Amino acid sequence: MGILVGLSCWAFIIMCLNNVDCTHSEIIAEDLIAVSETDTRASSDSESSSCGCHSLKRDTVVNIDRKVSLLSEQAAVKYSKRANDGMEVNQEHSQDLDIPNKMVLIPAGEFLMGTNNPEIPQDGEGPQRRVHLDQFYIDIHEVSNQEFQKFVNATNYVTEAEKFGDSFVFEGLLSEAVKSQISQAVAAAPWWLPVKGANWRHPEGPDSTITDRLDHPVLHVSWSDATAYCTWAGKRLPTEAEWEYACRGGLSDRLFPWGNKLHPKGQHYANLWQGEFPVQNTGEDGYTRTSPVMSFPANGYGLYNMVGNAWEWTSDWWSIHHTTDELHNPKGPAAGHDRVKKGGSYMCHKSYCYRYRCAARSQNTPDSSASNLGFRCASHNKQ
């Protein structure tokens, strides 16, 4: 199945390469395939109004003009000192790579899921509905490279990106050497490039490694890979409802895990994009790509990076239609095409991907992987 998808992807590229009529704009108009974090402004213009800011899919690459580079060479690495003051405890933890992911108990309760003031209505952020949940445990941070390495060492697991031989990487992270070998991009979001040899061990392609970021979230893991990891660890992926309840940290109807202000007391509370997407990331929050899994302040439940850093897979199938009936332990639609991901990533900026809110959501096919997509696990029992 994976091989078939992979083949159709490359067949599509070859088709485009051989077809002079296969222009970028035609493909956009025909396919209307957007990726996560597509410009929400673009979604209001006629050409992409039906795109709904979807997912990265393995069969939606198009040719790109190599003369147009979206890379900002001078992304400053400004360290937001004030934001990181008082975070010594976190940094201590993040350097102790032997700490396995701790879980915290999220008490049973009810909460308001979604929002009646959707920022991105086409994502199905509304309507707000009352949801009751049993207690559950959830990882306090995203699964790290080191944790995933432990899993692979123990099981010889091969991820889908490794089987496909490629994965999506944000152009701004790629070396010139890798970029020069790529001639395709994602239709409605040309900053995504399918990079041969990109996978969890090599997040920006063959010339990159994870050795200097073992405490960062594992990336380039598909929904199936994430499920395999959680199962191995005696856990499971959280449902979307569990994830959102955990994100809210005990607060009701707030935008972010910590409240409604993006920068309380002028500080950064999440790893997001500062600057102008996609050309300039100033790194004002201290990071231009992922950050250690326990960076930035934890929310009321003690959970790190619920928004920003890496998107997180949930177990639910994707649908934008929700009942307003009160539900108990909802698990999402019985079937579907895409899986729900939550939380946004280090690439999110209000101008094009205002999805670092607890009610925000997006989707990808279960075999998709990318340089901003990871996961954390949940469980009914303490591990």
Ligand X SMILES: *[C@@H]1O[C@H](CO)[C@@H](O)[C@H](O)[C@H]1NC(C)=O
**Which residues of the shown chain bind ligand X in the complex (CB under 6 A)?**
146, 149-150, 153
Minimum Å distance from CB 153 to ligand X? 4
Minimum Å distance from CB 287 to ligand X? 23
Q: How far apart are CA 261 and CA 36, in angstroms?
A: 24
Q: How far apart are CA 193 and CA 3, in angstroms?
A: 19
Minimum Å distance from CB 157 to ligand X? 12
Residue among 143 and 185 whose Cβ is closer to ligand X: 143
Q: How far apart are CA 156 and CA 150, in angstroms?
A: 10
CA dihedral 46, 360, 5, 194 (to 10 degrees): 80
Q: How far apart are CA 175 and CA 241, in angstroms?
A: 39
Q: Name every residue whose Cβ is closer than 8 Å to that of residue 92 and which is 6 or more positions away in sequence.
A: none
Residue among 46 and 153 whose Cβ is closer to ligand X: 153
Task: DSSP for 69-123, please give it.
Answer: ----TT------HHHHTT-HHHHHHHH-TTPPPPEEEE--EEEEES-SS-SSGGG
Residue among 201 and 355 whose Cβ is closer to ligand X: 201
Q: How many CB atoms neighbour CB 11 within 10 A?
A: 11
> Nearest to residue 151, comparing CAs of 81, 201, 82, 92?
201
Q: How far apart are CA 295 and CA 120, in angstroms?
A: 27
Residue among 211 and 323 whose Cβ is closer to ligand X: 211
Residue among 128 and 149 whose Cβ is closer to ligand X: 149
Residue among 90 and 146 whose Cβ is closer to ligand X: 146
Minimum Å distance from CB 200 to ligand X? 13
Q: How many residues does the chain have?
A: 383
Q: How far apart are CA 17 and CA 160, in angstroms?
A: 26
Minimum Å distance from CB 69 to ligand X? 36
Q: The tokens 């591990």 sit on which residue?
A: 383
Minimum Å distance from CB 142 to ligand X? 16
Minimum Å distance from CB 323 to ligand X? 43
Mapping DSSP onto H, E and C, the string for 251-311 reads CCCCCECCECCCCHHHCCCCCCCCEECCCEECCCCCCCCCCCCCCCCCCCCCCCCCCCCCE
Residue among 210 and 246 whose Cβ is closer to ligand X: 210
**Per-position b or e across 112-141, b if 16+ CB within 10 A of its CB:** bbbbeebebebbbbbebbebebeebbbbbb
Minimum Å distance from CB 146 to ligand X? 5
Residue among 61 and 143 whose Cβ is closer to ligand X: 143
Q: How far apart are CA 302 and CA 279, in angstroms?
A: 34
Residue among 5 and 214 whose Cβ is closer to ligand X: 214
Minimum Å distance from CB 186 to ligand X? 32
Minimum Å distance from CB 49 to ligand X? 46
Q: Name every residue whose Cβ is closer than 8 Å to that of residue 323 and which is 6 or more positions away in sequence.
A: 129
Residue among 88 and 98 whose Cβ is closer to ligand X: 98
